[in-house]
Structures are given as structure tokens and as C-alpha cells.
Amino acid sequence: MSREEVPRVVFDCNTFLQGAANRLSPARACLRLFFGGSLSLYVSDEVINEVRDVLYRPVLRARFPRLNDRIAEALIQKIESKAVHIRNVPEVFHYERDPKDEKYLNLAIEFGKMIWLISAA
């Protein structure tokens, strides 16, 4: 299946966090679909920067003891090497309730008909 034929997705930061922290989570299942080529993941510089920041936060490391540097780096490297990296995503949507989610919504909007996957927090 070519990249054009697979579903195009945007994962929010919780999906990356839950997927990295828990091997049995639905978020990890989503990451496996991406790793296996069944999904085409779209990311931006802002998304990667937030994922990196969140995966290295001491408070989250304490909450998720299985999350360590090796797992965080492996995930970030896979994202950077396999995902479709979009630069200069236009800011067309403003989400007053949660402005931190705007980066994900604008990325999904930019590529229309995209599925936006989030994990249960």
C-alpha cells in the first residue's frame, strides 16, 4: 500500500505519551499501525518539539516509570524518520478552550479529510 492509500493521521501529544508509556494502551496500538505503515502520520516542528518536551518531563517520568530516555529517543527518531513532516503550517483555526491543541487542529485542517486521533487522558 502506498503512502497515498493509507489513512492520513495527526496524533495529539497524549497519544505519543500514552503510547510510549504503556505497551498495552490503545495509543500504543495506534503507534504500531504507524510504525507498520498502515497509517501515514503527519507532524510539524511544533508537534515534535512538544512531544520531546513532554516525554522528558520529570513529573511525567515519575508518573510513568517505564518511560525512559531510550524509549523516548526511539519514539522521537521513528517519528522524525517515518512521519510526513510539514513545515509552516498556517494558523487558520483558533481554539480558545485549549490553545495548545491549535497546532494539531491546524495541521489536520491543512490536509483536509484527515483523521485526528487522540488518546484518552
Question: Which domains can be identified in the chain, with CATH numbers?
Answer: 8-117 (3.40.50.1010)
Predicted confidence at residue 102, as pLDDT, reads: 77
Q: 3-45 pLDDT, tens per residue?
A: 568 888 999 999 999 999 999 999 999 999 999 999 999 999 9
Cα(18)–Cα(12) distance, rounded to whole angstroms?
A: 10
Cα(32)–Cα(110) distance, rounded to whole angstroms?
A: 24
Q: 53-105 pLDDT, tens per residue?
A: 999 999 999 999 999 999 999 999 999 999 998 887 767 767 777 668 778 88
